[in-house]
A and B are shown apart, each in its own frame.
Chain A
């Protein structure tokens, strides 16, 4: 077990920089998720930690060792790939034992470790099969098993669930989380699925265009997104965001005025981006008027999209069976649920009630 530290890590392909000045310290046993849209550099960063990709600048440390220039096998890491990457011609047992054999471990030790991992992941029945004879979920468990037997300092997982169907994904998510709790080894997990990130992570690292946008616990990131990008990326349905300016004690977006409440006195006329989450509006209070356009029933909740003063937005409320197109609801945004960002930089304007 070990801490992992990335210091000013940079990745360049020729003139193109795809990861900029990446700094992160991962505590021993932590579950960290790299989250971001496609092409933001998540995999590249993970692969630099794994040693599969050369590092153009900065250092990577695992434990007290500088591993920046070490081969993957010398970093004591284990990796789980999106397409599982099991050796198709080897049995499940051999797939898991292969790395240990190469490391010249004694036979009994190999058998013991594979048996333990197989038990933990419920693979005992499958050890004699070839990967082709397994389902996607089983293959993913074998991939985890292959990582597990190595006793690594850190598990690196690159979108391990994205080839599975929705239901299986939820189950494997729980299994991986349970596995992490049980063995307590650090894990770095790459995904572009914010639900996976929110549910599994101790801390989320949100990236965009090769730049880290925010690092923090899931709820922290949800409650206090550091900038407009994080605000819109985290949370489903997406946060309602509008560009406007400060007008007295209100945020003014075209015709719509949203009271700023106890928010810090901002200079009149300052240009801001203002946002609130669909699930945070309180219906039946306040002066804002929402006109329903589309109703989506989610079961416990009802998601409505529509307009307020001609501006498109979504609100999510407790289940209501009676809503239909054209209905008008009055709503308010409670204290502290309003997010303000500097319009030009996109960064969060910190609130007084911090």
Chain B
């Protein structure tokens, strides 16, 4: 095979898989949103924009949008702050650094189910270690899943626990590409550690940060598994985001068209947000 046909062959495989597993389902799901369909076996009936009208006039949609956004923003901000802080610490030289670096990535490697179950055990009312700890300090019990704000906090907490290592890893990799001489020049210029972080570290890692925020943003906005496993969107739908809502409508309420409309709207909103993000932080540096 000549070089050119090799390239086409590889491109072809890539394009085909994308077509099959990404483009087709998206088109399928978008087209579903224009039909009434009570199950996947019945004959769909064309209803035009009616699913959208019904979804957009449903207060649950706006609640899910708000709650999903709050969840995404809170957990991203915390992941970033903790992740960067941890990366800065792990970038110092100390005894056992390699081991600590290895252990710190662990939560990211665990399946979501395990992390969620572990969390639930830890806060279990009778045997949970966190419950006992709170007890021993004489602090009142936290009802982790019972009020809307506590449930939201629990979801954020577990997400931060799981995905901070991702931010740490990306940032740590970036830190190692910053030349020492820049920090030294900054020391000669008279900066303190905080000023060096602001004037050297952050700008040098801006490209990485831009991508990390983008990726985390997409993932957290579309997050399904954590919320479903933790709270199923409850109590009373207060922690439900668009992904969970779409699933609930399609598979629990047998309104496949409505679920597809929610998914499509979610996709459009996210695309618009990403568009704004790229306008504000263009990827190319300088």
B58 proximal to A (CB < 8 A):
no
B215 proximal to A (CB < 8 A):
no
CB-CB < 8 A to B190: which residues of A? 73, 99, 102-103
User: Considering only CB atoms, which chain B residue lies closest to A147 in the complex?
Assistant: B188
Residues 189-201 of chain B, each 1 if its beta carbon lies under 8 Å from chain A, else 0: 1110001000110
Find residues 161-211 in chain B having any chain A CB closer than 8 Å to their own CB: 179, 181-182, 184-191, 195, 199-200, 203-204, 206
Contact flag A72-B187 (CB < 8 Å), given A87-B182, A87-B199, A89-B203: yes
Q: Is the CB of A85 within 8 A of B199?
A: no
Q: Is the CB of B184 within 8 A of A73?
A: no
Q: Is the CB of A52 within 8 A of B203?
A: no
Query: Chain A CB within 10 Å — which of B181, B182, B187, B189 has the most?
Result: B189
User: Considering only CB atoms, which chain B residue lies closest to A74 in the complex?
Assistant: B190
Q: Is the CB of A79 within 8 A of B185?
A: yes
Contact flag A52-B187 (CB < 8 Å), given A87-B200, A88-B204: yes
Give the contacting residue for A99; candidates B181, B188, B203, B286; CB below 8 A: B188
Find residues 28-81 in chain A having any chain B CB closer than 8 Å to their own CB: 50-52, 71-73, 77-79, 81
CB-CB < 8 A to A103: which residues of B? 190
CB-CB < 8 A to A240: which residues of B? none
A132 proximal to B (CB < 8 A):
yes
CB-CB < 8 A to A130: which residues of B? 286
A309 to B186 alpha-carbon distance, docked (Å):
59
Give the contacting residue for B184; candidates A81, A132, A146; CB below 8 A: A81
Chain A: minimal CB distance from B202 (Å): 9
Q: Is the CB of A83 within 8 A of B188?
A: no
Contact flag A102-B184 (CB < 8 Å), given A89-B203, A89-B286, A132-B286: no
Chain A binding surface, main DSSP class: loop
CB-CB < 8 A to A77: which residues of B? 188
Query: Chain B CB within 10 Å — which of A51, A73, A85 has the most?
Result: A85
Contact flag A52-B204 (CB < 8 Å), given A99-B189, A102-B189, A103-B190: no
CB-CB < 8 A to A222: which residues of B? none
Contact flag A83-B189 (CB < 8 Å), given A89-B203, A130-B286: no
Q: Is the CB of A79 within 8 A of B286?
A: no
User: Considering only CB atoms, which chain B residue lies closest to A86 in the complex?
Assistant: B185
Chain A: minimal CB distance from B189 (Å): 4
Give the contacting residue for A85; candidates B179, B191, B206, B286; CB below 8 A: B179
User: Considering only CB atoms, which chain A residue lies closest to B191 in the complex?
Assistant: A102
A77 to B190 alpha-carbon distance, docked (Å):
11
CB-CB < 8 A to A102: which residues of B? 189-191, 195
Chain B: minimal CB distance from A322 (Å): 52
Find residues 80-118 in chain A having any chain B CB closer than 8 Å to their own CB: 81-83, 85-89, 98-99, 102-103
Q: Is the CB of A78 within 8 A of B191?
A: no
User: Considering only CB atoms, which chain B residue lies closest to A129 in the complex?
Assistant: B286
Give the contacting residue for A72; candidates B188, B200, B206, B285; CB below 8 A: B188
A81 to B188 alpha-carbon distance, docked (Å):
11
User: Considering only CB atoms, which chain B residue lies closest to A71 in the complex?
Assistant: B187
Q: Is the CB of B187 within 8 A of A85?
A: no
A73 to B187 alpha-carbon distance, docked (Å):
7
In the assembled complex, 11 residue pairs joining A and B whose CB atoms fall closer than 8 Å, in A order, are: A72-B187, A77-B188, A81-B181, A81-B184, A85-B182, A85-B185, A87-B182, A88-B204, A89-B285, A99-B189, A103-B190
- Residues of A that sit less than 8 Å from B by CB: 50-52, 71-73, 77-79, 81-83, 85-89, 98-99, 102-103, 130, 132, 146
